[in-house]
Structure 1
Amino acid sequence: MTSSERTEVSAVAGEREMLEGWLDFHRETLALKCAGLGDEQLRETSVPPSGLSLLGLVRHMAEVERIWFRRVLDGEDAPPLYFSEQDPDGEFHVGPDDTFEAAGAAWRAETARARELAASRSLDDLSKEERHGKRFSLRWIYVHMIEEYARHNGHADLLRERIDGATGA
């Protein structure tokens, strides 16, 4: 996930291909924002009092992929990777021993599992688990994931610019 190019999203694709294309585009964008940086740089936070870092964003997106595809869509018993009841924002609390290698591997595993779980379902299929008293279609989950990545990619863009001045992508 450190490619220097993103997959171009078709301007005329069908609905499913379009949704999957935009989700992959945003996944690749986050990877690009992290590319070429060392763990120390990836742990750098934005501005006080925020503890937001690129490494924290990668860990957060691993959790989000896990929650929406494994737990909500599939009903799988998939415990949190980084957060707990005692530390509900644990994915953002990056320590000196946390590495991109570990976080990136978890993130790649979760995105691979998400693709696998979605592949055999219709966009109209409803989630097995409820959240806030509702079940969600795969279509809704895709749109939610696209907006989740888009929002956090904005954060990642600002973090990366602060670290080394790189902008764009």
Structure 2
Amino acid sequence: MSMTREQRQAVLSHPAGWIASGFGSGLAPLAPGTVGSAAALLPYLLLRELPLWAYLGITLATFVLGVWVSRIVVARTRLEDPGFIVIDEFVGQWLALAFAPAGWIWILVGFLLFRLFDVWKPWPVSWADRAVDGGLGVMLDDALAGVLASALLALAAWGWGAS
């Protein structure tokens, strides 16, 4: 479903819309979730240099910010969990990579695992997607997909002896 001109204006005319859309990355005409996940890798490259407590603190703060801005955008556009909101992809991607070993291959694997769980929506991701509405609903399913991806990535890294 494409955005109407009025909905696009409602998103771009408010700071919450810019934040929720990943500073415009979610407005990509094709695969906005994938584009948003890829855009999340840029700040990840800076975040990964932080101590784990700071990394997770920023991720949590972004989750809380995401709930707030998503609620505003949903109200302004009258669309429940529109695809152009990708701040949830940022949080999910950062969670997926939180414990990733160093190296581009692990970033790629974490990226792909997060996208797989975000699209496939295994339990509990599917539960959150169906049962939780509003800004929290927008954010929670992707956060859970990120946690699942992180767990599988950690298991794969352990299996390959990566640290």
**Normalised by the shorter chain, which TM-score bucket?**
0.3 to 0.5
Bigger Rg over Cα? 1
Q: Structure 2-normalised TM-score?
A: 0.35
